[in-house]
Amino acid sequence: MTSLALSVQGLTKCYGPRTKTPVHAVRDVSFEIARGEITGLLGPNGAGKTTAVKCICALVLPTAGGISVFGIDPLRHRGAALRQLAAVLEGNRNTYWRLSPRENIAFFSGLHGRSLRGQLRRTDALLQRFGLEEKRNTPVRALSRGMQQKVAIACALARDAKLLLLDEPALGLDVASTQEMRVLLQELVATERRTIIISSHDMELIQSLCKRVMIMDRGELVLDDSVENLVSVFQARAYRIELACKLPDALREELDTGFPVLRIQSDDGGQTTIEADFQEERSIYDLISTLGSYGLPLRGVGRQYPHLKDIYLHAIGEELADRGAES
């Protein structure tokens, strides 16, 4: 038995005529995921996350590259590989709206070859766990968007697959449902001994759920590291400076052009917070002396706990810069 849950090597998917310039949805992506690992797949819309997920499920056949799900190639042995995985796909209904949550869960676990007796037991447990008991017999059509998404995830869980792929599980949910979904996913990650890949453009969600994060942009994998590593690398260089005044426009311009400022926030009470990420430790002194030259009252300087969002924007920014340098 291999200890790898998933191995993706040189995955490439391009569309369009082969002779003219093809459009690359995914370009030479390689990664490996160990059993039991919870991995986040981040990226803006159109980064290729969904295409990569669908290639793993063999819903989309790649142009080049190899995939192995628990040692099985889904492109050669689709049936055997599909037994190992379940997926909730973005932009799909994933469930039958005419059927109730209970009937949906039973149907989809049946499609995965689960026995009827096992189905019913599992179904009731899932309904209870997802807080869907009251709505167990209501057609999915009549449920809220958040509940529908819960049913879709319950249907995927009911298959008892070892690899769970969740593509944008919180997309299109309102604030309350997103929060509820986050709690549910955290619980899932903590209790289920499964390998899970969650794709999202919501960094907070990924940061709260995953130990490892991969960032995709324009079809390429631009970053792959543990959340802890990424955060600590950034922590060493990110500072937060508080001023007891508003910023003069001239200074704001100087900061924007001369310093690696992440964000500047001014509140109504006349306070300003500057967050900056320094490549070289020294320039924090430059920044402070610049502020000093304007005679601005300094309230505090401290380390900034980085958000994945900054790392993410940074990774994508570097990617764009590299691209600019190439061309």
Partner 1 sequence: MMRVRVLLAVLRKHLIELRRYWFDTLSALALWYVVFLLLFNGARALVSRDDLFGATGDGIIVGYMVWIFLLGAYSRFTNVLNTAAQEGTLEQLGLCPAGISWICLCDAVASFLVDDLLIAGGTLALMMLTTGRYLAIDLLSILPLLILTLMGVLGLSFLIGGIALIFKRIQSAAQLVNFGFIALIAVPIASAPALRFLPISHGVDLLRRVMIDGRTLLQIPGSEILLLAGVSIGYFITGLTAFHALERAARRRALLGHY
For the chain, the first-to-last Cα distance in angstroms comes to 45
Q: Tell me the closest approach of the beta carbon of residue 95 to partner 1, in angstroms.
A: 7
Give the containing element (helix H, strand E) for 68.
strand 64-69
Question: Which three-class secondary structure state does DSSP give residue 73?
Answer: coil
Interface with partner 1 by CB under 8 A: which range of 73-81, 179-187, 220-228, 319-327?
73-81
Site for partner 1 in 266-295 (CB under 8 A): none
Burial of 113 (0-12, 13-18, 19+ CB in 10 A): exposed
* Residue (of 43, 53, 40) closest to 216 by Cα position: 43
116 binds partner 1 (CB under 8 A): yes
93 binds partner 1 (CB under 8 A): yes
Interface with partner 1 by CB under 8 A: which range of 82-90, 122-130, 200-208, 313-321?
82-90
Task: Please state, in angstroms and rounded to a whole number, the distance separating the CA atoms of residues 103 and 169.
Answer: 21
Contacts with partner 1 by CB under 8 A: the residue count is 41
106 binds partner 1 (CB under 8 A): yes
Task: Please state, in angstroms and rounded to a whole number, the distance separating the CA atoms of residues 319 and 9.
Answer: 21
Smaller CB separation from partner 1, 81 or 316: 81
201 binds partner 1 (CB under 8 A): no
User: Which residue bears the tokens 């940061």?
Assistant: 207
Q: Which letter, b or e, does each residue of 162-180 get, where b requires 16 or more Cβ atoms within 10 Å of its Cβ?
A: bbbbbbbbbbebeeebbeb
Site for partner 1 in 14-53 (CB under 8 A): 15, 25, 51
Q: Tell me the closest approach of the beta carbon of residue 119 to partner 1, in angstroms.
A: 8
87 binds partner 1 (CB under 8 A): yes
207 binds partner 1 (CB under 8 A): no
Q: Tell me the closest approach of the beta carbon of residue 66 to partner 1, in angstroms.
A: 16
Smaller CB separation from partner 1, 56 or 230: 56
112 binds partner 1 (CB under 8 A): yes
Burial of 308 (0-12, 13-18, 19+ CB in 10 A): buried
Q: Do 128 and 187 touch, CB atoms closer than 8 A?
A: no
86 binds partner 1 (CB under 8 A): yes
Smaller CB separation from partner 1, 117 or 193: 117
Q: Which amino acid would we find at residue 46?
A: G
The residue ranges that bind partner 1 (CB under 8 A) are 13, 15, 25, 51, 54, 57-61, 78-80, 82-83, 85-87, 89, 91-99, 103, 106-116, 155
